[in-house]
């Protein structure tokens, strides 16, 4: 049975367009129709301009007809998250107070997608301030997981992951400062990669530059239904842009490396759920089958980096965001912020300086470890995807389970969530996966390992909510 256009991955779509087997307009029309069919049930895409999307598709078709060079994502439908600037759209970040913050220019990551020929079909939802691992706000409402509405779609890039899982675009742009790419990929049964700090240029011309915590930890990256789509879309996103001083034009492929991985089921005493352990051991077994050597060992530190990450984040919020939280008045965001303050008080200047100093030691430890084991396999979360809105009932439980999400960004290291299959959790059917971590600018190692895991499992299929 022939696949619908909205079921195909981006690599297949771009190849068919390049060969003239299908037009970019046909792909875009099919994707917009798919959005009409499924988005009301999941509320993943919250802004769209069909006329502009079809015009971008027509430009791809005209370029092909004229024999012009086509970019690597020519005609591939994608979505962008509402916390990055896209000219002509509001950069709401899930906030009513920013509903009229209309971007005049594209964020570099959006500009790079356009230059590669991608067709942006919509903007995706995020929780207020992109703060949670759940996706609901007072501006656009509640995003649901297309696999199971009882579990979270993840956050903060929950709209991106839900849309991609449901066939609204082959790739969804996300951002990650504490798991916001990796966790939605896990919860929605996708492949999702958090790049190294500096790999993908990003900057919002519509807003002031962020403080040092976010500068060191926040990155943009893709969700997709295949690892090969991640490889292409990450390469496209990583094109240089001088507007981001943190960008480093490191080649996407590094030197050869030993096929050796470390497996850590319970980092630093994390109470890992048996279903999560099964997924980790499944990922490990697939790597062994692919010829990798896997050794079960203790991981480098996560707990203290997670505490320091929270300190730097809260220092930024205390400096300028407290008033915005009060003005926005989003009950979910205010609850989460209060719970974060309970677990990690706002640091003073000396604590911020201590956090910056400690970061160097942590990164040194991680670099030495990853030189010995080029990949670490560990939980994305200690639990299967959470029941939706669990953080409003038991925030400490959620925060503890997300140790590896929060601990990694302090070091600026790349990590990804790789899909392993489905399970029956307490909240019903749920996707499962494993987190892979590699050294700085070695996303190629993550993608190689993820492909070995992917090819030995069932392919990711579009889900209809």
The pLDDT tens digits for 48-95 are 999 999 999 999 999 999 999 999 999 999 999 999 999 999 999 999
| Exposure of 383 in the CB half-sphere (CA atoms within 13 A) | 17
Mean pLDDT within 299-320? 91
Question: Residue 189's Cα: distance from chain center in Å?
Answer: 12
Point out the residues that are catalytic: 81, 156, 180
pTM of the model: 0.98
How are beta strands 191-194 and 415-425 bridged, if at all?
antiparallel
DSSP string for residues in 102-113: B-SS--HHHHHH
Report the percentage of the chain scoring pLDDT > 70. Answer: 100
As given in the structure block, the two tokens for residue 186 are 């896990």
Predicted confidence band of residue 320 (pLDDT cuts 50, 70, 90): confident
CB 309 within 8 A of CB 315: no
Say if residues 190 and 224 touch (Cβ distance below 8 Å): yes
Mean pLDDT of 175-186: 98
Q: What is the DSSP letter of 163?
A: H
328: tokens are 């926005």
178 in Cβ contact with 218 (< 8 Å) = no
CA distance 361 to 342: 26
- Integer distance in angstroms from the first to the last C-alpha of the chain? 21
Note the pLDDT of residue 184.
Answer: 98
Token digits for 257? 């490396």
pLDDT above 80 (res 1)? no
**DSSP secondary structure letters along 407-440:** HSGGGT--EEEEEEEEEEETTEEEEEEEEEE--T
Burial of 419 (0-12, 13-18, 19+ CB in 10 A): buried
Domains of the chain by residue range = 5-455
CB-CB contact of 165 with 190 (8 Å): yes
Q: Based on the number of CB atoms within 10 Å of its own CB, is 346 exposed (0-12), middle (13-18) or buried (19 or more)?
A: middle
Tell me which CATH code domain 5-455 carries: 3.90.1300.10
CB atoms within 10 A of CB 155: 28
**What value does the mean pLDDT take over residues 84-110?**
98
Averaged over 303-325, what is the pLDDT? 89
* Mean pLDDT (whole number) for 338-361: 94
- Nearest to 357, CA basis, from 300, 305, 302: 305
Give the pLDDT score at 462.
Answer: 98
């Amino acid at each position: 049975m022939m696949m619908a256009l909205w079921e195909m991955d981006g690599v297949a779509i771009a190849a068919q367009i390049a060969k003239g087997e299908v037009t970019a307009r046909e792909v875009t029309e099919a994707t917009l129709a798919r959005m009409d069919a499924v988005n009301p049930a999941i509320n993943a895409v919250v802004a769209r301009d069909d006329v502009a999307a079809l015009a971008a598709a027509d430009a791809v078709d005209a370029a092909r007809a004229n024999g012009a060079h086509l970019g690597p994502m020519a005609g591939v439908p994608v979505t962008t998250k509402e916390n990055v600037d896209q000219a002509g759209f509001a950069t709401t970040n899930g906030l009513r107070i920013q509903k009229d913050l209309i971007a005049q220019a594209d964020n570099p990551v959006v500009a790079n997608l356009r230059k590669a020929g991608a067709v942006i079909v919509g903007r995706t939802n995020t929780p207020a301030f992109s703060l949670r691992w759940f996706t609901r706000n007072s501006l656009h409402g509640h995003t649901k997981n297309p696999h199971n509405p009882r579990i979270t779609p993840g956050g903060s890039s929950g709209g991106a992951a839900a849309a991609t899982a449901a066939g609204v675009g082959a790739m969804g742009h996300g951002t990650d400062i504490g798991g916001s790419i990796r966790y939605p990929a896990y919860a929605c049964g996708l492949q999702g990669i958090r790049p190294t700090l500096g790999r993908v240029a990003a900057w919002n011309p519509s807003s002031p530059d962020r403080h040092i915590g976010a500068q060191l930890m926040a990155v943009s990256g893709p969700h997709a239904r295949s690892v090969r789509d991640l490889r292409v879309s990450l390469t496209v996103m990583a094109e240089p842009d001088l507007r981001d001083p943190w960008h480093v034009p490191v080649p996407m492929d590094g030197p050869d490396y030993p096929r050796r991985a470390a497996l850590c089921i319970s980092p630093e005493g994390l109470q890992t759920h048996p279903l999560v352990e099964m997924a980790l051991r499944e990922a490990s077994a697939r790597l062994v089958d692919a010829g990798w050597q896997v050794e079960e060992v203790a991981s480098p530190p996560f707990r203290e980096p997670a505490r320091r990450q929270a300190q730097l984040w809260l220092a930024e919020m205390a400096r300028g965001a407290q008033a915005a939280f009060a003005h926005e008045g989003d009950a979910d965001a205010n609850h989460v912020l209060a719970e974060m303050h309970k677990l990690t008080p706002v640091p003073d200047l000396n604590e911020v300086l201590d956090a910056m100093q400690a970061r160097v030691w942590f990164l040194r430890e991680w670099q030495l470890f990853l030189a010995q084991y080029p990949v670490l396999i560990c939980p994305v979360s200690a639990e299967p995807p959470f029941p939706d809105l669990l953080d409003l009932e038991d925030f400490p439980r959620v925060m503890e389970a997300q140790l590896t999400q929060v601990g990694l960004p302090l070091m600026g290291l790349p990590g990804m969530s790789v899909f392993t299959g489905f399970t029956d959790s307490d909240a019903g059917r749920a996707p499962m996966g494993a987190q892979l971590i590699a050294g700085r600018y070695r996303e190629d190692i993550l993608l190689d390992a993820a492909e070995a895991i992917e090819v030995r499992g069932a392919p990711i299929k579009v889900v209809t909510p």
